[in-house]
A and B are shown apart, each in its own frame.
Chain A
Amino acid sequence: MSSTLNRNKLYIILLIACFAGYIWIYYNYAYNLDNFTNGVNTCIIKQVTGIPCPSCGATRSILSLLQNNLAEALYWNPIGIILVIIMIVSPVWIVFDYIQKKDSLYVFYRRFEILFRNKYIAGIAIFLVLANWIWNIQKGL
């Protein structure tokens, strides 16, 4: 069996990731409502270097969003908003594809990958991530 990324494998990875995300968010939502300071720190970069990584604060961002606080969600980390959209859309899309026996999400994913191989789009994306990272370090997440 080849281990290259085909439709079913991508969908399984996405579903596992989304499911893990739901559990993680539920865990944080249920146990760490006070200021989110005593949560479990899973970030390897932060534990090794003490500097937050570009996506640190995404959990706090999603939790703020759950409390209808969009401004705070954007402050913690804009990546949280992107993750929420992915976590909501992709399971629905996968179920849709599964019922219709299509591979529209897989085709979309491949197009998206090709899009990010364009050097200008990749450059903009890298710039945004770096800017977000610098902002994270300034905020001291």
Chain B
Amino acid sequence: MEPQKVDLFIMTNGKYFESNHLIPIRDRLLEMDDSKWGIIQTLQFKDPTISLIISLLGGSLGIDRFFIGDTGLGIGKLLTCGGLGVWAVVDWFLIMGATREKNMEKLRQVI
């Protein structure tokens, strides 16, 4: 793929990924065929900041975990009142990283 397109992707979507993943993503995209550009452009990623806001507001109901697609853990949080409040607080710090990992998983399915 052309470097300009790859850099455009990195610039617009960089905030959705862990910083240590950006270089591998860039290298992988550069190797890839141009025909995949359309699919990659249409991928929708979850914003880590939004998931943090949801975690702060509805964390003890597990809504943050439902939002990023961890349905099972979300149900676990919901049934236990956010893990007796402990898990809910722990997730305030973990949820942004978890969101970025989920985005990476989504991108990996395509590239």
Chain A residues within 8 Å of B, Cβ to Cβ: 2-5, 13, 17, 20-21, 24, 42-45, 53-56, 58, 79, 82-83, 86, 109, 112-113, 116-117, 129
Cβ-based interface call for B61 (8 A)? yes
A45 CB contacts on chain B under 8 angstroms: 60-61, 81
B34-81 interface (Cβ within 8 A of A): 59-61, 70-73, 75-76, 78-81
Chain B residues within 8 Å of A, Cβ to Cβ: 59-61, 70-73, 75-76, 78-89, 97-98, 101-102, 105
Across the A-B interface, give the 8 residue pairs with the lowest CB-CB distance, nearest first.
A42-B85, A42-B84, A55-B81, A113-B71, A44-B60, A113-B72, A116-B71, A43-B81
Partner of A3, one of B61, B87, B98: B98
Counting residue pairs across A and B whose Cβ atoms lie within 8 Å, the total is 64
Q: Is the interface of B mostly helix, strand, loop or mixed?
A: helix
The answer on a CB contact under 8 Å between A83 and B98 is no
Q: How far is the CB of B21 from chain A (nearest CB, A)?
A: 10
How far is B75's CA from A3's CA once the two chains are assembled, in angstroms?
19
The answer on a CB contact under 8 Å between B78 and A54 is yes
